[in-house]
């Protein structure tokens, strides 16, 4: 009943592994390269759990992946590993092509070999679940309907283009070889263990240090905010009940302009950690992200009607849980905001102000 998870030391992957083990769902082999975004501290609570087997390695290392699959004979592979930050993809796209495109391709090849070696019920039951993003669909205007599973692809950043390429490869492995794949395209996640380069944790961490809260452009760009626990539940459902070859869009039903998100965070911190003058005073408008997508929104109707899923957390309840988690885990925040993190902040924000 073992599953292999890739990228399980990152934000969503570690939440998924912790929830999977807490639910008693079976052993996990966790393959992660431990890039700047991977953090074993996220998995500290399961470090002594014999059901969790961590392997440091690259999804593009075909020999390693082949050995892991042959040894553990998993019933499924859940693929989170990726370079995931849009701003980094603008500064340095190479790693995005290498991991998201080449890495996913090598992983698919190894998984295809493993799947073809299975027979009978094992082969029938096997699944490869690819975790992707709503960004592959491009940008919506204020009045466009939300993205559905049939929206045409129109990626706009090196990150989203690399994810789109990986989605196409996954689709092709189903169409050509019959590999039983499932793809999820989800909206912006937030919650515990998110690396503080992304909007929500960056704003919380900066606010707690009374540093500026850098809002790109006019701050009216809209994202659909999804609490990470709801996303993990959706992935578990798709894995167990989704139809091979199908795509499932997962969203939080919580469209918000960035400025509203930042205001909500400031207000929440004002209540829990008051500061003279309030936190909104720290907001600083900075130069916009090149090619910045205006609006993302997800129609999660297929998840609702086929699998009975809808998000449990509202934006307000999810954000309250998240702020509380960051306040309660100051050591985790301090640990990740050192070393390479400081170089990134200087590179991305140094010239924006």
**Segment interacting with ligand DAU, rule: CB under 6 A, options 42-50, 209-217, 242-250, 275-283:** 209-217
Partner whose binding site includes residue 127, from ligand DAU, ligand NAD, none (CB under 5 to 8 Å by kind): none
d(CA 133, CA 185): 4
- From candidates 3, 11, 77, 114, binder to ligand NAD by CB under 6 A: 11
**187 contacts ligand DAU (rule: CB under 6 A):** yes
Give, as ranges, the residues between 181 and 200 that touch ligand NAD (CB under 6 A): 186, 188-189, 195
> 308: exposed, middle or buried (C-beta count within 10 Å: 0-12, 13-18, 19+)?
exposed
C-alpha closest to that of 129 among 250, 240, 17:
240
Partner whose binding site includes residue 107, from ligand DAU, ligand NAD, none (CB under 5 to 8 Å by kind): none
**223 contacts ligand DAU (rule: CB under 6 A):** yes
Q: At a CB cut-off of 8 Å and minimum separation 6, what does 143 contact?
A: none
| CA of residue 309 relative to chain centroid, distance | 18
Query: Is 49 marked active-site?
Result: no
The two three-digit tokens of residue 32, written as one number: 């992660």
**202 contacts ligand DAU (rule: CB under 6 A):** yes
**32 contacts ligand NAD (rule: CB under 6 A):** yes
d(CA 20, CA 38): 18
**60 contacts ligand NAD (rule: CB under 6 A):** yes
Q: How far is the CB of 292 from ligand DAU (least distance, A)?
A: 6
Contact criterion met (CB below 8 Å) for 28 and 52: yes
Contact criterion met (CB below 8 Å) for 79 and 129: yes
**258 contacts ligand DAU (rule: CB under 6 A):** yes
Query: Is 346 marked active-site?
Result: no
Show the DSSP H helices in 42-198 as ranges.
62-72, 86-91, 94-96, 104-117, 120-125, 158-177
Nearest-CB residue to ligand DAU? 133
Contact criterion met (CB below 8 Å) for 146 and 308: no
Contact criterion met (CB below 8 Å) for 4 and 68: yes
**6 contacts ligand DAU (rule: CB under 6 A):** no
Query: Is 233 marked active-site?
Result: no
Site residue total, ligand NAD (CB under 6 A): 31
Which lies closer to ligand DAU via its Cβ, residue 115 or residue 296? 296
**Segment interacting with ligand DAU, rule: CB under 6 A, options 36-44, 79-87, 109-117, 306-314:** 79-87
Q: How far is the CB of 257 from ligand DAU (least distance, A)?
A: 9
- From candidates 3, 4, 9, 65, binder to ligand NAD by CB under 6 A: 9
Choice among 135, 167, 255, 313 that is catalytic: 135
- From candidates 5, 86, 101, 323, binder to ligand DAU by CB under 6 A: 86
The two three-digit tokens of residue 50, written as one number: 């014999």
The two beta strands, 247-250 and 127-133, are: unpaired
**216 contacts ligand DAU (rule: CB under 6 A):** yes
Contact criterion met (CB below 8 Å) for 267 and 213: no
d(CA 232, CA 88): 25
Contact criterion met (CB below 8 Å) for 226 and 163: no
Q: Which residues bind ligand NAD (CB under 6 A)?
A: 6-7, 9-13, 31-35, 37-38, 58-60, 80-84, 99, 103, 131, 133, 163, 186, 188-189, 195
As annotated, the active-site residues are: 134-135, 159
Q: Which residues bind ligand DAU (CB under 6 A)?
A: 84-86, 133-135, 187-188, 198-199, 202, 214-216, 221, 223, 258, 289, 296
């Amino acid at each position: 009943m073992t599953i292999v998870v890739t990228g399980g030391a990152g934000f969503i992957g570690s939440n998924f592994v912790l929830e999977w083990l807490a639910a008693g769902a079976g052993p996990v082999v966790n393959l992660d390269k431990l890039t700047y975004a991977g953090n074993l501290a996220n998995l500290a609570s399961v470090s002594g759990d014999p059901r969790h087997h961590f392997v440091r390695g690259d999804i593009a290392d075909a020999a390693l992946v082949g050995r892991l699959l042959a040894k553990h004979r998993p019933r499924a592979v859940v693929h989170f590993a990726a370079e995931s930050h849009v701003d980094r993809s603008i500064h340095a796209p190479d790693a995005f092509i290498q991991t998201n495109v080449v890495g996913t391709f090598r992983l698919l090849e190894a998984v295809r070999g493993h799947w073809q070696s299975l027979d009978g019920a094992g082969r029938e039951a096997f699944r490869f679940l690819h975790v992707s993003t709503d960004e592959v669909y491009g940008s919506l205007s204020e009045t466009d309907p939300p993205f559905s599973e049939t929206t045409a692809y129109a990626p706009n950043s090196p990150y989203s283009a690399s994810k789109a390429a990986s989605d196409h490869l996954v689709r092709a492995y189903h169409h050509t070889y019959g590999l039983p794949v499932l793809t999820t395209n989800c909206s912006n996640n937030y919650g515990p263990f998110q690396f503080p380069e992304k909007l929500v944790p960056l704003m919380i961490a900066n606010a707690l240090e009374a540093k500026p809260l850098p809002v790109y452009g006019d701050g009216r760009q809209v994202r659909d905010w999804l609490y990470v626990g709801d996303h993990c539940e959706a992935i578990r459902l798709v894995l167990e009940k989704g139809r091979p070859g199908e795509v499932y869009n997962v969203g939080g039903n919580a469209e918000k302009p960035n400025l509203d998100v930042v205001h909500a965070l400031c207000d929440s911190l004002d209540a829990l950690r008051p500061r003279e003058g309030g936190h909104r005073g720290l907001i600083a408008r900075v130069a916009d992200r090149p090619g910045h997508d205006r609006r993302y929104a997800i129609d999660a109707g297929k998840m609702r009607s086929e699998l009975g899923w809808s998000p449990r957390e509202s934006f307000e309840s999810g954000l309250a849980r998240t702020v509380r988690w960051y306040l309660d885990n100051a050591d985790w925040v301090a640990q990740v905001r050192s070393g390479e993190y400081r170089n990134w902040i200087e590179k991305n924000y140094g010239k924006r102000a």
